[in-house]
Structure 1
């Protein structure tokens, strides 16, 4: 089993990143052999949208500090940034010949990010899913942790891998054939709880770094006062909390806050409601804020310490990139060979 996942180094990590991805990455360190989990900072993906080069560099290093502060161990997981592993960009170009315009045109994320100005969107934004495919296929990933909103891109990666194998690996897919393809078709891992944390200002919108309102999210670097203030001002409705999960239907903001509490406390929604059912948000919000502070304050303190150590952060990325290049090379060589490209 080999697990690959990435995160863009743009802006602060927030609670949605932590509960939806990072906490599960940390847990996986105890469940699988060292070196079988690769986590990368998707700095090449950041080029698909307008960006400040100096800010991208700083954000990349801050992201390393944040991930390590959350518990990601560079000795047990491979942590690196794409820019130090050229094979990502190389394989994307090779896969561009297999990917189809129609496939990419159906990607909802391109439609969402380009908005009404599709003619003005970058080519990188359109081909973003092909680079995502290269990111996981390069390492023969068997499983990829994804949120519900990323399942479509993983399905595209599988389609690209399957078509490449069928087109360029003689005997692949033939009845009774044991011929293996160049690429492994990865399966999704969707976290069962808190897979999609919503905005504190709108329970129907995903918590996001790109939301212009900082009050919409809990950042992992927020201090105690900021956390308590954001929870206190989080949008709710006037009704008391129900006694079971069914009573949250049609109440997106209430469902979001209860879901956050459940995920942070390691409880089910019904367990949370057994304790708070019938109560108003005047009692529930302070309890949620205190729980968030209890879990996030140690992460914040560790992050502040780590981000000052530039030498250590560079060393973490260099170590991870060295291992990633080693793991990537056999697949990249096989792809070049399958396509008939002469490399000496």
Structure 2
């Protein structure tokens, strides 16, 4: 039997919990823009249903959803070329998630390292949604028969779970309906780290605003944060392997490489032997040059939230057109009667 062929299609999304950071831009949005100019049909989502796995202030969630959408557009995602929408506007995500809850095994969920990290010692008190959200993530992807998902290294396990769910569904129902989606993990700064602790991911929910670069930070704030970023006493080395035990130094070098569109090796070749007192201002200047126009455009877009909402609504209608036949066929395969 010949293997089914699926049109090359990308799906990915960002959770609207807090503001966008440099980590969101380098680890996700920048690659979304690049993939939109390639061979793929691209579908990009604001995954607001994922945000409510922990309680969100409703007004702040609305604002954060619009900020992510503005960040997408300001960074170069064309909502006429790519499908851009928010997850809650397409009910198929929740519908397919329930079917996948019934396909996925509890043992698979118990192995999800992100749940263990987020729940910590309080696992009995967290929401069922936080435990089960990898099945919703699988539904997000497979509702569109997405063949590729650009993700950070920390999300690779969830794409592997998506493949497991697709494979089990196909096996249980003797079909080849869902593709085995491939994660796309490549390039520098795929996981941007905390500016004060290079062993932790840059996060919107960190304790101090100095830990992160926000996409709406002004030039002075960006310069101040990079100037105060933690490093170590040693100068910049000539080889990447010499950064192995220097997490803060490695993080700044990789951020520079990602912003400049080059490699960590090239950055080290240019700055070998320099001190951080010279490197950090150069990094700040580069970040301001790259992020400034995006931040300005985000502010302009956010001044007209009604237009953002209209853009998301148009994208949701296009998303539903792609998702509807896939969801309908899934119901048929499972044997569920729909009127």
Match of 2:153 in 1: 148
Q: Which moved more, 1:321-330 or 1:55-64?
A: 55-64
Match of 1:310 among 295, 305, 315: 305
Contact 2:20 2:67 in 1 (8 A): no
Q: Give SS of 2:84's match.
A: strand
Match of 1:32 among 39, 52, 63: 39
| Aligned 1:175-324 pairs, distance under 5 A | 181-324=176-319
Q: Which moved more, 1:307-316 or 1:24-33?
A: 24-33
> Counterparts of 1:163 and 1:107 in 2: how far apart (Å)?
18
Corresponding pairs, count: 332
Q: Give SS of 1:97's match.
A: helix
> Counterparts of 1:57 and 1:12 in 2: how far apart (Å)?
12
> Counterparts of 2:104 and 2:35 in 1: how far apart (Å)?
31
Q: Give SS of 1:195's match.
A: coil
Match of 1:86 in 2: 91
Contact 2:188 2:264 in 1 (8 A): no
1:151-196: CA deviation from partner (whole Å, max 9, x where unpaired): 1111111111111111113xx4xxxxxxxx2211111111222211
Structure 2: segments with no counterpart, 5+ residues? 1-7
**Is 1:134 paired with 2:139?**
yes
**Is 1:163 paired with 2:168?**
yes
Deviation >6 Å, runs of 4+: none
Match of 2:3 in 1: none
Q: TM-score, normalised by structure 2?
A: 0.96
Contact 1:24 1:191 in 2 (8 A): no
Q: Give SS of 2:193's match.
A: coil
> Counterparts of 2:103 and 2:214 in 1: how far apart (Å)?
39
Contact 1:183 1:331 in 2 (8 A): no
1:111-154: CA deviation from partner (whole Å, max 9, x where unpaired): 11111111101000010000000000100011111111111111
Q: TM-score, normalised by structure 1?
A: 0.94
